[in-house]
Amino acid sequence: MIIPVILSGGAGTRLWPLSRELYPKQFLPLTGERSLLQQTIVRVHGLANVAPPLVMCNEEHRFLVAEQLREIGVTGAQILLEPVGRNTAPAVALAALRLQSAGDDPLLLVLPSDHVIVDTAAFRAAVTAGGAAAAGGALVTFGVLPTRPETGYGYIRAGDPVDAQGPARRVQAFVEKPDADRAAAYVASGDYLWNGGMFLFSASAYLAELERHAPAILAACRAACDGISADLDFVRVRREPFLDAPSDSIDYAVMEHTDRAVVVPLDAGWSDVGSWDALLEVQAADARGNVISGDVLAQDVDDSLIRAESRLVAALGIKNHIIVETADAVLVADRSRAQDVKRLVERLKAERRDEPLVHRQVFRPWGSYEGLVLTERFQVKRIVVKPGASLSLQMHHHRAEHWVVVKGTARVTCGAEVKLLAEDESTYIPIGTTHRLENPGRIPLEIIEVQSGSYLGEDDIVRFEDNYGRSGE
């Protein structure tokens, strides 16, 4: 049996301002109606003998993962929460230990959640081809056939075929990111493949090689899994033991040292979507080489990506540009500098700005809220609550709230009083009053909330009851 292990811990800073830490690129519909995470999970559905996935993510993203799985009808999945980020080797160790706990030894198909693969059939064929080697104890990686000399990727040097019938080849070496001349030589030789960070191996084979080559990682992960617990849809390990796990990738910890590494070539239109320029390359362009989405007016524009999220963007007489507009930030960059967007994000973080962290629209397990106006003494939000969902029973020390229902029906708890509000009706929540907002209806509830007070931070909240496992202040 194959169990997909989906790694969903990245931040995608090079795709700012669309990708933010609390809503990174794997949750965004960058190349279609589905997010990259959803595309990754749907891609494995056609494989033979495949089980529901196990998704690795952090605490902040857990409800996003659960909601995106629900949207595509995935049932039976496990969502395993990493206490802290420790790179891929410890993350996959947690997954392997969890999946072995039932007494089975499944094959783990380890996939990043934020890559694009155009040819799904070719991807599935490569996984099937690697299955026999993995079932025999090999640690299989999938090497992407290079389409150009690329200095931004690591490479895999492929050796002799594993057998005469299949495409799998033994791994001779993993190579760091080369300079331009070496990259050109690698591509010309035909023996080098891009390292796409995708793997297939049995849980026992991976753990055995981890014990040989990185025993400290395995020991910390075993200790973290001692006392593993379930919380709603989520699986938690112990935080303190996991903090002792060295941070390392599968490549460095295991694959570069093992004598069981095998590579299967993958020619499926792969991209790690590592920058806006890379996203432009994997999407269909118009006659002038542009990829345009949203409300955009372009005149005499060539070879550019322009994306408008919330308003009109007009571009005139430009070439080789990246323009990305969101409700609270606009990026304008030369395509040749697309990789440097990460440096802008680092500057914003150093200045302690919110733009690298959150969008104006923030998603919660019950729905979302969007900041419309923010001043020193008041702010205005648009709140959307999903049918049947409710916010926590809570109170605030420093702010009062006024709610106006603009769509749907609200059930409001305010102190000891519970009442229903229809459209165009409103209510007032005084400072220090226990309250709750619920949607008892069948359509989304939308309200406008006006907060007023001396402090308007999201951390001014005391929860008394919550349907989503959140508690405290």
Q: Which of 236, 271, 306 is the last residue of a domain?
A: 271
Indicate whether 312 and 368 sit together in one domain: no
Indicate whether 11 and 70 sit together in one domain: yes
Indicate whether 59 and 180 sit together in one domain: yes
Indicate whether 339 and 422 sit together in one domain: no
Q: Can you give the pLDDT at residue 473?
A: 46
Indicate whether 83 and 197 sit together in one domain: yes
Indicate whether 446 and 424 sit together in one domain: yes
Q: Can you give the pLDDT at residue 19?
A: 96
Task: Provide the residue-wise pLDDT of the chain in tens; the chain has 473 residues.
Answer: 999 999 998 878 999 999 999 999 999 999 989 999 999 999 998 899 999 999 999 989 999 999 999 999 999 999 999 999 999 999 999 999 999 977 789 999 999 999 999 999 999 999 999 999 999 999 999 999 999 999 989 999 999 999 877 899 999 999 999 999 999 999 999 999 999 999 999 999 999 999 999 999 999 999 999 989 988 779 999 999 999 999 999 999 999 999 999 999 999 999 999 999 999 999 999 999 999 999 999 999 999 999 999 999 999 999 999 999 999 999 999 999 999 999 999 999 999 999 999 888 888 889 999 999 989 999 999 999 999 999 999 999 999 999 999 999 999 999 999 999 999 999 999 999 999 999 999 999 999 999 999 999 989 999 999 888 776 54
CA 9 to chain CA mean position, Å: 6
User: What phi and psi values does residue 92 have, to the nearest 5 degrees?
Assistant: -70, -30
Q: Can you give the pLDDT at residue 471?
A: 62
Say how many domains are in the chain.
Answer: 3
- CATH code of 145's domain: 3.90.550.10
Q: Which of 221, 239, 271 is the last residue of a domain?
A: 271
Q: Domain range holding 397?
A: 361-465
Domain assignment of residue 121, yes or no: yes
Q: Considering Cα of 11, then 14, then 15, then 20, what sign does the dihedral take?
A: positive
Indicate whether 40 and 59 sit together in one domain: yes
d(CA 418, CA 411): 7
Q: Can you give the pLDDT at residue 10?
A: 81
Q: Can you give the pLDDT at residue 109?
A: 98
Domain assignment of residue 207, yes or no: yes
d(CA 48, CA 122): 14
d(CA 104, CA 168): 26
Per the DSSP assignment, residues forming a β-bridge with 366 are none
Q: Is 284 exposed, middle or buried (0-12, 13-18, 19+ CB in 10 A)?
A: exposed
Domain assignment of residue 473, yes or no: no
Widest Cα–Cα separation across the chain: 76
Domain assignment of residue 446, yes or no: yes
Q: Can you give the pLDDT at residue 101?
A: 78
Domain assignment of residue 470, yes or no: no
With a CB cutoff of 8 Å and minimum separation 6, the contacts of 319 are 301, 302, 303, 304
Q: Can you give the pLDDT at residue 472?
A: 52
d(CA 247, CA 378): 43
Indicate whether 13 and 151 sit together in one domain: yes
Is the CB of residue 385 less than 8 Å from the CB of residue 366?
A: yes
Residue by residue, what is the 3-state secondary structure of 176-228? CCCCHHHHHHHHHHCCEEEEEEEEEEEHHHHHHHHHHHCHHHHHHHHHHHCCC
Indicate whether 130 and 243 sit together in one domain: yes
Domain assignment of residue 378, yes or no: yes
User: What phi and psi values does residue 429 have, to the nearest 5 degrees?
Assistant: -115, 105
Indicate whether 337 and 435 sit together in one domain: no
Q: Where are the alpha helices (DSSP H) in 253-403?
A: 276-281, 341-350
Q: Can you give the pLDDT at residue 262?
A: 97
Q: Can you give the pLDDT at residue 129?
A: 95
User: What phi and psi values does residue 83 have, to the nearest 5 degrees?
Assistant: -60, -40
With a CB cutoff of 8 Å and minimum separation 6, the contacts of 308 are 293, 294, 295, 296, 325
Q: Can you give the pLDDT at residue 233?
A: 79
Indicate whether 258 and 315 sit together in one domain: no
Domain assignment of residue 356, yes or no: no
Q: Which of 328, 349, 370 is the last residue of a domain?
A: 349
Of 421, 423, 454, the residue nearest 436 (C-alpha): 421
Indicate whether 332 and 185 sit together in one domain: no
- CATH code of 401's domain: 2.60.120.10
Domain assignment of residue 471, yes or no: no
